[in-house]
């Protein structure tokens, strides 16, 4: 047996970053992160399903309720989490400064309990980041509806929220086996957490610390986080493009970003050149425009392969058009074409500095809105189309119509 003995009054090193997996999907993702290994991060899982907790390698775990599951009922999981509020506070009151909450939206536990945990953490002054998945379209309208409501509710209680669209697994990794394809969504979470952890705990030539991360992410709404690595010719542009084009992250209008943080890591052999530093900033602003807050950091890694650079980017305050799943309405003919401009939900950075909650603008139709369906257009493509892309498409259609006339 090994005993760790320290003088009275000395504190052992505590990690300020914690990742908690909530529900089945969240537990699976965090368990995989734990197996892969990330330094300077603590892991925790919670679930209403005791068997799921027993199967997890995470030591720090707790059960919500009697361990029998939530039966795809978010209200049941929400109530069980509220009953455990004191225990949740105790587990977070250990020096945690930043909390990642990961969950799969659409089921019971992740959808219902995540907002409760987020609310508790934020009230404790912890920087709270949500990383959640949207379900596959073929999981059914009810599952999609629960996911949509869960995302909207969670957005009220986190500082930043990153959404991973599982549907893109079909589109991008369709040739892979299910065992190979499904973990791809978990890799996005790992990239986000690992990138942030390394930014905060690393020692850079131009340093980025927790205060910088907090400036970019606190009360900032929807976010995109990505990391890209490249070497050889055009490595500056290639690293930035790979950071911004994670295939499973939803298509956001990045030029609406209010805050951007960049951390560049370079090998010491064939190190980053001054001209490449300028190029990286230029390429990033091509994606984001000129954000209100912009912070950069530079570090050199002895262990990186010669000639390699890595770029980690955090962009927050992004406008998102979060469209509800199609639902049948008694009042509306489903064959009628509807202009979505009146039916979108926009979640954006709070314009009122004295209010910490995210401003959510709800349409009069709320959950009963419909998607535009047009002959000859793939329905899934229409559902995934962002407002920005739709506007460009409409402008192009109008231009062609004017040319024909």
The pLDDT value given to residue 92: 95
* Interval 145-182: pLDDT, tens: 999 999 999 999 999 999 888 888 887 888 888 888 87
Winning range, highest mean pLDDT, from 101-115, 134-148, 217-231, 313-327: 101-115
Average pLDDT over residues 4-21: 64
**162, HSE (Cβ side, Cα atoms, 13 Å):** 26
Cα gap 27→5, rounded to integer Å? 33
Beta strands across the sheet bearing 320-322? 320-322, 345-348, 359-361
The pLDDT value given to residue 256: 84
The β-bridge partners of 61 are: 45
The CATH number fitting domain 202-318, selected from 3.30.1360.120, 3.40.1050.10, 3.40.50.150, 3.30.1330.20? 3.30.1330.20
Written out in words, the top-level CATH class of the domain with range 17-195 is alpha beta
Average pLDDT over residues 192-204: 78
The pLDDT value given to residue 248: 62
Cα gap 164→185, rounded to integer Å? 7
* Interval 18-48: pLDDT, tens: 999 999 999 988 998 898 888 889 999 999 9
The pLDDT value given to residue 20: 96
Cα gap 202→372, rounded to integer Å? 48
**How far, in Å, are 63, 69, 164, 255 from residue 105 at the CA level?**
19, 15, 10, 27
Average pLDDT over residues 285-301: 87
Higher pLDDT, 60 or 168: 60
> What percentage of the chain has pLDDT greater than the value 90?
39
83: pLDDT confidence band, cut at 50, 70 and 90? very high
Higher pLDDT, 38 or 332: 38
Sequence-distant (≥ 6) Cβ neighbours of residue 50 within 8 angstroms: 63, 67, 68
The pLDDT value given to residue 325: 66
Residue 261 in contact with residue 313, Cβ under 8 Å? yes
In this structure, the number of other CB atoms found within 10 A of the CB of residue 306 comes to 10
Residue 197 in contact with residue 38, Cβ under 8 Å? yes
Domain boundaries, the chain: 17-195, 202-318, 323-404
* Interval 338-374: pLDDT, tens: 444 443 444 444 444 444 433 334 332 233 323 333 4
């Amino acid at each position: 047996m090994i005993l760790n003995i320290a003088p009275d009054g000395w504190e052992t090193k505590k990690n300020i970053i914690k990742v908690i997996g909530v529900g089945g999907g969240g537990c699976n993702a965090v368990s995989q992160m734990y197996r892969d290994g990330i330094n300077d991060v603590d892991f925790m899982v919670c679930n209403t399903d005791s068997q799921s907790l027993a199967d997890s390698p995470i030591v720090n775990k707790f059960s919500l309720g009697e361990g029998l599951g939530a039966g795809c009922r978010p209200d049941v999981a929400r109530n069980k989490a509220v009953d455990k509020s004191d225990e949740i506070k105790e587990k977070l009151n250990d020096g945690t400064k930043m909390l990642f909450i990961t969950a799969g939206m659409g089921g019971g536990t992740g959808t219902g309990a995540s907002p409760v945990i987020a609310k508790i953490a934020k009230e404790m002054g912890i920087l709270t980041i949500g990383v959640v998945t949207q379900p596959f379209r073929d999981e059914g309208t009810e599952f999609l509806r629960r996911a949509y409501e869960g995302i909207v509710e969670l957005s009220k209680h986190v500082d930043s929220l990153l959404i991973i669209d599982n549907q893109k697994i079909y589109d991008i990794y369709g040739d892979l086996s299910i065992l190979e394809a499904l973990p791809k969504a978990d890799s996005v979470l790992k990239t986000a957490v690992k990138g942030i952890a390394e930014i905060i705990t690393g020692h850079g030539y131009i340093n980025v610390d927790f205060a910088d991360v907090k400036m970019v992410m606190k009360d900032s709404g929807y976010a995109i986080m990505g990391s890209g690595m490249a070497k050889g010719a055009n490595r500056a542009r290639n690293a930035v493009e790979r950071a911004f084009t994670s295939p499973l992250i939803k298509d956001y209008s990045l030029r609406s970003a209010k805050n951007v943080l960049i951390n560049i890591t370079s090998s010491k052999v064939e190190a980053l050149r001054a001209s490449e530093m300028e190029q990286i900033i230029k390429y990033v602003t091509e994606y984001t425009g000129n954000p209100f807050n912009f912070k950069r950091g530079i570090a050199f890694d002895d262990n990186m392969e010669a000639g390699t650079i890595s770029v980690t980017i955090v962009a927050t305050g992004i406008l998102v058009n979060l469209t509800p799943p199609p639902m049948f309405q008694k009042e509306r003919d489903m064959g009628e074409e509807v202009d979505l401009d009146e039916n979108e939900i926009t979640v954006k950075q709070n314009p009122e500095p004295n209010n910490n909650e995210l401003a959510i603008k709800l349409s009069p139709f709320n959950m009963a809105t419909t998607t535009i369906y047009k002959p000859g257009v793939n329905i899934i493509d229409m559902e995934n189309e962002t407002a920005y892309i739709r506007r460009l498409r409409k402008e192009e259609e109008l231009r062609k119509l004017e040319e024909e006339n």
